[in-house]
Structure 1
Amino acid sequence: MTAAPLPDADAANWVDRRAPARLRPWLKLGRFDRPAGIWLLMLPGWQGAALAAAMQRQAPDLALLAEIFAGAALMRAAGCAYNDIVDRDIDARVARTAGRPIPAGQITVRQAWAFLAGCSLAALAILLTLPPLAIGLGVGSLALVAAYPFMKRITWWPQAWLGLAFNWGALLGFAAAAGALRPPAALLYAAGVFWTLGYDTIYAIQDLEDDALAGVKSSARRLGAAAPRAVAGFYLASFALAVAAAWSAGLSPLFLAPAALAALHLAWQAGRVRVDDPRRALVLFRSNALTGLLLFAAFAAGGVPWR
């Protein structure tokens, strides 16, 4: 017998269909029933590693990519648990989040802290295998992560703060591959911030009414009917910065074809987003895994000599 999925989880997600019943609340606490967030946290790290390798005309290190994937999955789970601990009272008043394990009474706050600690220690074990600069960057990201749940209480732009946190992996992945930071890494990080600002504004459309009732701020609420145009602007800035990163890194023209596909996908999203269609907003948000993969492929291809 399968459990009812949470509103923002796919109806066929593996947690509700396959996982043992007693493990489901824990897997849902870590959002393993909603893997889009793992991709969106992981892909900037992959892009950073690919960009650093491409500057040396090398392919991305597969072992490093595997470490970034595992670390992103663990830290996303820890971050979601922390977010749910902090937001448990707000989540109980929002229809989309009221069924989450803590507000639903399936997991206690103390148990959630234990889950967070376990995931964080496992991620730390992976981080410690990387070069010193990457370790320092990993530790430095904790301040951004710790502050994020409070941003929706104090600013209309928590999505921008999420961009700062979620794309830190671009710097970490670059540093892990190159042992240093260079200007292309900073441009890639800035591109990611605008990308996240766009896709998380789309995501926030789902909660416009509930957020207003709960007093929660978001870029979607602040922008209102102008949100689709703003998303288009955020995506344009993101793509321009990604191209600037490739240009400053001296990548080959082979970067251009997959990058153009990423640009078309961003334009498709911006053209379809509607503030009165939350279901479509979730579909568009999830599709950003493809955008990130295309940009990763573009940076990897840019490391192949043109002649």
Structure 2
Amino acid sequence: MQSEPETLPDTEYRGLIGLLPAAARPFALLARLDRPIGWWLLFWPCTWGVALAGGAVQNWELIFWLLLGSIAMRGAGCVYNDIVDRDLDKQVERTRSRPLTSGAVSLKAAWAWLGVLCLIGLVVWLQLGMTAKLMALASLALVAAYPFMKRITWWPQAWLGMVFSWGALVGWLAVAPEFSSAMLLLYAGSIFWVIGYDTIYALQDREDDALVGIRSSALRLGDNVRFGVLVFYGLALASWAGAFWIMRPQALGLAALIPIGLHLAWQVGTLKSGDGEDALNKFRSNRFAGFLMFLACLVLGQAG
């Protein structure tokens, strides 16, 4: 009889996942459905693109499709990541209990589950216009390469930033199928934001990562993590301010960024780099940061 999987501090296993049949739970855990923070962080940049392009109200149903796509494709990315990293995961305390590593899910079943999640993503992809479809397809190479980045660069967080921010481009082009400098600055700002919050997340694994040779920005920055996160968050805000100025060249438009700016400043100002629980809490607070940025894009997009 299969024992209950070990749960982690950032899991919500005892919630809805706990109501699933026992045989289904390992698959839910493999796709990180017990940890919704991941798909929220993938989803919010999608909404920013839709909102800043001025389509959040008129295309509200698109936002729901993008939410479904974010849940499915984040799950697919996690399954693929665990397939690639199954040997490394055995060497890290936080990841050795993952379903594929522990044997709760076989490699063959993991590939099948990956296919199911990709089919859901395909349904969402079919709802997009042609330009947005092509942009979404272009992300697949980045997604496929991501699990290998921690082996070859100290900055896998930068690659993750490109992947997790891609929805800003897709969301924008789904509403306004033309490239613009504001869209690119929105995307660049999201990349810096992801680097910042994923550096905070990586603080939890610094000791294990150093032992097994996994590279991360948290290790690269050493004792300068707080300053590094401050720089990345500052670059994010500067990029977003540039995008907002292009859309509406008025100081009042930039004021929409004040709430998220204050929130990011709170993260940096109160971050305890040696406290894994604090790092996790700060990381998870970016779900709220994403919502604040959505509100800023919504206000500016509708005003324009």
2:185 equivalent to 1:187 = yes
Hey, what does 1:28 align to over in structure 2? 29
Instruction: Say yes or no: does 1:164 pair with 2:162.
Output: yes
Partners in 2 of 1:207 and 1:105 — Cα distance?
22
Structure 2, unpaired ranges of 5+:
none
Q: Give the alignment's TM-score, normalised by structure 2.
A: 0.94
Query: Which residue, 71, 74, 90 being the options, matches 2:72?
Result: 74
**Gap change, CA 1:15 and 1:304, over 3 Å in 2:** closer
Separation in 2 of the partners of 1:253 and 1:78?
Answer: 41
Matched residue, 1:113? 111
Say whether residues 1:52 and 2:78 are aligned partners: no
Match in the other structure for 1:87:
85
Letter in 2 for 1:278: G
Partners of 1:260 and 1:217 lie apart in 2 by 34
* CA 108–50 in structure 1, closer or farther in 2 if over 3 Å, else same: same
Aligned to 1:300: 298
Once the two structures are TM-superposed, the CA of residue 271 in structure 1 deviates from its matched residue by: 1.1
Cα deviations across residues 227-263 of structure 1 (Å, max 9, x unaligned)? 1110011001001111111111127766445421100
Aligned residues: 302
Pairwise CA distance, 1:21 = 1.7
Query: Distance between the aligned counterparts of 2:273 and 2:27, measured in 1?
Result: 32
| Larger CA deviation: 115-124 vs 193-202 | 115-124
> What is the percent sequence identity of the aligned residues?
45
Q: Does 1:266 align with 2:267?
A: no
1:8-23 map, 5 Å:
8-10=9-11, 13-23=14-24
Partners of 2:118 and 2:300 lie apart in 1 by 34
Q: Distance in 2 between matches of 1:134 and 1:232?
A: 32
In structure 2, how many angstroms separate the alpha carbons of the residues matched to 1:5 and 1:286? Answer: 20
Q: How does 1:76-155 map to 2 (within 5 A)?
A: 76-155=74-153
Q: Secondary structure at the match of 2:192?
A: helix
User: Superposition pairs for residues 204-243 of structure 1, below 5 Å?
Assistant: 204-243=202-241
Judged with a 3 Å threshold, the aligned counterparts in structure 2 of structure 1 residues 75 and 81 are, in CA distance, closer, same or farther, namely same
SS at match of 1:34: coil
Q: CA RMSD in A?
A: 1.9
**Partner secondary structure for residue 20 of structure 1:** coil
How far apart are residue 16 of structure 1 and its match?
Answer: 4.7
